[in-house]
Structure 1
Amino acid sequence: MTNERTDERTDESTDDSAVAADGETFQRLRMVEAVLFAAAEPMTEAALAARLPAGADVPALLAMLAAQYARRGVQLVKRGAGWAFRTAPDLAEVMTLDAVDHRRLSRAAVETLAIVAYHQPVTRAEIEEIRGVTVSKGTLDVLLEAGWIRPRGRRQSPGRPLTWGTTDAFLDHFGLDSLKDLPGIEEMRAAGLLDARPALAAYGARAADPGTLEDRETPEDEDADAGSGGWDGA
């Protein structure tokens, strides 16, 4: 009889621990959900970990939360290095009905953004060489203000020109998980982003080989002072 009671108490203790563990996980899931919902931009796992109790398994929590939202109208997705809630892709048509286009990029800005995306890290002089025309400071300012490009470092060459690359905000805005998801050259031509100029069409060669783009995300010549302030237009 004593052994039976001991076994019963052991079973009850085990059940209580399981319930406590489930309750702890559930509470942490709620915390991750709340933080991401309130965030103005995608959050990295490190940023989320800083908001959670020590020892929280952030990757596991994100995977669980993403699974819970997988069939919902709002889904948890990864954009670059960050995580954010976004409307389900199949509901895009419904959302488009209420969308308002507040800004339209100029042709120069679209071409410059495409060149940066496919050739990063790239200097202003290299952008001008590909486009065949001068790149105005205003064009880069528009892309900087939108948060789609950022200084990447300085090239180890005479004059140490500043190089440019895209941001996670760029990936998020265009619905890309990574640079490998950039459209190919035929898709760009169909969208009217490539014209008859041979120099401009040259950047399409990068689109034909998207597998190499990830290798260019972190340039070897990146300089710590490149993103510390304004840019000098180099």
Structure 2
Amino acid sequence: MSGTRATITDLASRDRREALRIAEAILFASAAPVSTEDLARRLPEGSDVAAVLRDLQAAYAGRGVNLVRVAEAWAFRTAEDLAYLLRHEAVETRKLSRAALETLAIIAYHQPVTRAEIEEIRGVSTSKGSVDVLLETGWIRMRGRRRTPGRPVTYGTTVAFLEHFGLPALSDLPGLEELRGAGLLEGHIPVGFRIPVPGDDDALTEEEEPLDEADLLGYGEALDPEPEAD
């Protein structure tokens, strides 16, 4: 009987090692983060995907690359303490303007948000160019249209945004104290000031409706009745 138990244990151990090897290969070869669901479909039937991911994380914890969660998916990334060694390899093709960065920050924290709402928060007009640049980077997307007169386009961030900034989820964006500690919030902060915490649900809200066919073809901004002031 003990021999039978030992055989079962050995088989389970071999299956676990095989699942680890397969998961490691899939994650290593993938150009984009792999979701838990996709991994489960490709691992041997009955594999404990959560346990496999935990084992891989532990195995790579002290190495030059780590297994990290990116927007509800998983990918190998250079260890944070070694990132400086690779910075000279990066090619900066375009530097975002201050207006584009402010627009990106507002979209990240306040999404879903329209251009008029962005302008209200910034206190100045937002050019169509700033939004277009962010759309080209793939960091923001048109979500839908607000159920208000004029049906303005609403914007939100993408998985590419989370991946670029190393965020597992939108809820991991820095809060008030973190921004203050980093020196990004200086001077007197009004009483009751709060940094909004965006949700990670990609589904449209009750205040949004789906994009039109023309929007999906890339003409959403042309149809957007909001002014294109600088």
TM-score (norm. length: structure 2): 0.79
The 5 Å alignment of 1:91-170 reads 91-170=82-161
2:71 touches 2:159 (CA, 8 Å); kept in 1? yes
1:81 touches 1:168 (CA, 8 Å); kept in 2? no
Larger Rg: 1
List alignment gaps of at least 5 residues for structure 2: 225-230
**Cα separation, 1, equivalents of 2:2 and 2:178:** 62
Look up the SS of the partner of 1:111 in the other structure: helix
2:143 touches 2:211 (CA, 8 Å); kept in 1? no
Look up the SS of the partner of 2:218 in the other structure: coil
2:109 touches 2:195 (CA, 8 Å); kept in 1? no
Q: Amino acid of the residue matched to residue 220 of structure 2? A: D
Shift of 1:217: 6.2
User: Which stretch of structure 1 is more off in the superposition, 48-57 or 218-227?
Assistant: 218-227
**Cα separation, 1, equivalents of 2:219 and 2:44:** 39
Deviations for 1:7-55, whole angstroms, at most 9, x for unmatched residues?
Answer: xxx3222222211111111111111111111111212111222322333
1:209: which partner in 2?
A: 195
The 5 Å alignment of 1:80-99 reads 80-99=71-90
2:228: which partner in 1?
A: none
**Cα separation, 2, equivalents of 1:192 and 1:47:** 40
User: Which stretch of structure 1 is more off in the superposition, 162-171 or 180-189?
Assistant: 180-189
Runs (4 or more) in structure 1 with deviation over 6 Å come to 189-196
**Cα separation, 2, equivalents of 1:11 and 1:190:** 59
2:36: which partner in 1?
A: 45
1:30 alignment partner, one of 15, 21, 28? 21
Q: Percent identity?
A: 53
Q: Amino acid of the residue matched to residue 152 of structure 1? A: R
List alignment gaps of at least 5 residues for structure 1: 1-9
1:71: which partner in 2?
A: 62
2:227: which partner in 1?
A: none
1:44 touches 1:83 (CA, 8 Å); kept in 2? yes
**Cα separation, 1, equivalents of 2:37 and 2:201:** 23
User: Which stretch of structure 1 is more off in the superposition, 148-157 or 175-184?
Assistant: 175-184
Shift of 1:186: 7.2
1:120 touches 1:216 (CA, 8 Å); kept in 2? no
Look up the SS of the partner of 1:230 in the other structure: helix
Shift of 1:76: 0.4
Give the paired residue count: 216
Look up the SS of the partner of 1:122 in the other structure: coil
Deviations for 1:94-122, whole angstroms, at most 9, x for unmatched residues?
Answer: 22244333321122211110110111110
TM-score (norm. length: structure 1): 0.77
